[in-house]
Structure formats: structure tokens, C-alpha cells
Structure 1
Amino acid sequence: MSDAELEKFPQHKFGQAFTTLKCECPIYLPWLEKRFKNADGQVQPGRVTDFGQLCVNYDIIVNCSGLGSLSLVGDTDLHPVRGQILKVQAPWLKHFIRDGDGLTYIFPGISSVTLGGTRQKDDWRLTADPKDCSDMFERCCALEPSLKKSQVLTEWVGLRPSRGGLRLEKEMFQHGSRQVPIIHNYGHGGGGISLHWGTALEATQLVKECIGNRYLASNL
């Protein structure tokens, strides 16, 4: 950032400015689901408590259960990192602002501005904490004072499925006399949207390898 740009943030001595894309998940995720269904994919709502439930009807399983892998896989390296944000009405803001540690950020979107945030490890709370809301609003106002006149639209809380490293690998699951391959793809933490396309391609490649191996075995 130039000296003139940095004057807006007197508490900071260094800054970066760049152009990027922002994914609007409330729009993007339904679009992905629609694309899947248009390709003859099927969505069946339900609760899976054991992979054995799926082995009855499926030959290959892809596990993208996030924090659900704590119970499904018994992965003790997996843990929640609680995130809380505010959505405010501030249409005059057009540029992203992010503090150095990434904990304080202002992300303008199509219909609202996102203010954040929190990173609270091993915190399972899904209700908004008033103190967190007040604290993040004050931090964001310190970066952009005009936010003091914004209107708060909603509070939102989510749990990031985090672990020491993302798990993307094949495992053979023994179900009776059968061995069913499971492709694990979870533990993305707060980077799910950033990483999802690449890890999905990797998981797809593992699925293709499993299909190829089954075809070869059936013809031996």
C-alpha cells in the first residue's frame, strides 16, 4: 500500500493491497448442488452413524463428513474451531480490509458486509456470544470508522473442521467378508472454499483408481 493509503490505518506501519475473488457461499453451494443433480446425481437426506450402513448399497464411499469424522472414524486429531461473524448493511464499503493476523476482517459482499471474527479452538458453541459480537464490531470499526453507522442484519456462528493436516487418502473398510474403499476428504479447517475444488479433484482421482482396480480384479 502507498503512504497515502496507509494514512487510513494509523495503527499499522505496513499493508498490502490486491485484487481477488470472493465466493458467496449462500449462492455458490446451491448452484453446486443443482449442477450435481443435473448430472444425474442424487441427494438422499439422512444420518450416517457407521460406514457399515453405506456398505450395503455402495461399493465406494467418499467421506466428506467434516467434524462428523470424530465419531465415524474416531479421528482424535480432528477438532472444532469456532467462528463467529456479523452481517451488516454498509453498501458504501467496496473494498476488503483484513488485519495482519487475519482475526479482524471486513468483507463486502453482494447484499451485505461480513465482519469478523473469532478462532476459538475446541469450542462447540453454536449460539452467538454477545461479547464476541461487541468485540469484533469494535475491532472492525477501528479499521473502518464508518461502520459505526451500519445496521447489523444478523449474527452467525459456524464450526471449522480442523486437524493437524487435511486428510485426503484411501482406506479399506472391512464389512463382513467385503473390503470397501473409503476416500477420506476432510479437515479443511477455515480453508474449505479455498481448497475444495482441488481436493475434490484429488478425491475423484482416487475414486477412479478404485473403480479401475475393481474392473481389473473382476476380469482376472
Structure 2
Amino acid sequence: MSEAELQKFPQHQFGQAFTTLRCDCPPYLQWLEKRLKATGVQMQTRKVADLWELHSEYDVVVNCAGIGAHQLVGDEKLFPVRGQVLKVDAPWVKNFIRDGDGLTYIYPGIHRVTLGGTREKDNWSLSPDPAATKDILERCCSLEPSLRGAQEIKVKVGLRPARQSVRLQREVLSQGGVKLPVVHNYGHGAGGFSVHRGTAKEAARLVGECIAALQVSSSRAKL
């Protein structure tokens, strides 16, 4: 950043400025869903407590349960990192601002500006914390004082599905002589939208391996 740009942040001695892009997640997910449906993919909403509930309906199961995998497949290595952010109406804010370790940030979106945030390991609460709301607003206003005039403040809370490493692998479950091929793809933490395309491609490749193995098994059974 130039000396003139740094004058806006007197509490900092140096900074970086660059051009990037931001994914506005809700409309992006709707776009992905629309694309899938256009190719003939069928979608349904249902509660699954055990992957074995699906073995009679599907040849291969892909487990993208996120934080739900903690209970669904008993993954004790998976833990939540609670995040709380604010969504505010501040259309005059046009630039992204991120402070130090990234805990404090201001991200303009299509309709609203996101103010963050928190990182609370092993906190499962989905209830908004008023103290955190106040702290986030104060931190963000110290970077962009005009946010004190922001309207319609809404609080959002989510659980990032964190793990020491993403679980991206094949597994064959076996029960009473019946086998169920599963591809796991979860544990991306806060980086899911950053790396989702790459991990999705790898998951698809693993599904292909599962299908090939099933075809070989079926051919042998016919001999």
C-alpha cells in the first residue's frame, strides 16, 4: 500500500493491496444446483442417520456431510470452528479490508457487506452471541468508521467443519457380507469454497474407481 493509503489505517505500519474476487455463496450454490438439474440430476432432502440406509438404493455413496460427518460416520478427528459474522447494508463500502491474521474483515457482497468474525474451536453453539456481535462491529468500525452508519444488521452463525487434513478417500464398508463403496469428501474448514472444485474432481475420480471395481466384481460373479 502507498503512504497515502496507509494513512487511512494509522494503527498499522504496513499493508498490502491487490485485486481479487469473492464468491457470494448462496447464489453460487443456486447456480450449481440449476446446472446439476439441467443434466438430469435428481435432488431430494431427507435425514440420513447411517450410510447403510442408502445401500439398497445406490451403488456408491459420496459422503459430503461436513460437520455432520462427526456423528454420521463417527469421525472424532472432525471438530467445529464456530464462526459468527454480521451482514449489514452499507452499499458505499466497495473495497475488501482484512486485518492482520484475518480475524477482522470487511467483505462487500452483491447485496450486503459481511463483517467478521470469530474462530472458536470446539464450540457447537449456533446461537448468536451479543458480546461477539458488539466486538465484531467495533473491530470493523476501527478499520472503516463509516460502518457506524450501516443499517439492518443481521447476525449469522455457522460451524466450519475442521480437520487436521481434508478426508478425501475411498472406503468399502462391509456388513453381513454386503459391501457399500463410499467416497468421503469433507473436513475443509473455512476453505471449502476455495478448494471445492479441486476436491470435487478428485472425489469424482474416486467414484469412477468404485464403479470400475463394481463392474469387475459383477463380471466375475457371472463367470
Which TM-score tier does this pair reach, normalised by the shorter chain?
over 0.9
Contact 1:80 1:123 in 2 (8 A): yes
- Kindly state the Cα deviation for residue 176 of structure 1 after the two structures are TM-superposed: 2.5
The alignment's TM-score, normalised by the length of structure 1, stands at 0.97
Deviation at 1:4, TM superposition (A): 1.3
Structure 1 spans left out of the alignment, 5+ residues: none
The Cα of 1:107 is off from its aligned counterpart by 0.3
Structure 2 length-normalised TM: 0.95
Summarize the alignment of residues 76-87 of structure 1 with structure 2, pairs less than 5 Å apart.
76-87=76-87
Q: How does 1:118-133 map to 2 (within 5 A)?
A: 118-133=118-133
Cα-to-partner distance string for 1:152-180 (whole Å, 9 max, x where unaligned) = 33111111011111110011111332222
Per-residue deviation, 1:217: 2.9
Describe the superposition over 1:122-175 as per-residue Cα deviations: whole angstroms up to 9, x where unpaired.
111111111000000000000111111111331111110111111100111113
**Letter of the structure 2 residue corresponding to residue 102 of structure 1:** G
Q: Which amino acid aligns with 1:141?
A: C
Residue 189 of structure 1: aligned partner: 189
Letter in 2 for 1:191: G
Deviation at 1:72, TM superposition (A): 1.6
Which position in structure 2 is the counterpart of 1:107?
A: 107
CA-to-aligned-CA distance 1:1-39 (integer Å, 9 cap, x gap) = 111111111111121111111111111111111111111
Alpha-carbon distance, 1:50 to partner: 0.7
Separation in 2 of the partners of 1:2 and 1:133? 32
Task: Describe the SS at the equivalent of 2:5.
Answer: helix
Question: Per-residue displacement from partner, 1:159-216 (whole Å, max 9, x unpaired)?
Answer: 1011111110011111332222110000011111111111000000000111122223
* CA distance in structure 2 between the aligned counterparts of 1:55 and 1:17, rounded to whole angstroms: 51
Q: Which amino acid aligns with 2:96?
A: F
Whether the 8 Å CA contact 1:173–1:181 is kept in 2: the answer is yes
Aligned-pair identity in percent equals 58
How many residues matched?
Answer: 220
RMSD: 1.1
Distance 1:68 1:84 in 2: 19
Q: Identify unmatched segments of 5+ residues in structure 2.
A: none
1:68-118 deviation digits (Å, cap 9, x = unpaired): 111121111111111111111111111000011110000011111110000
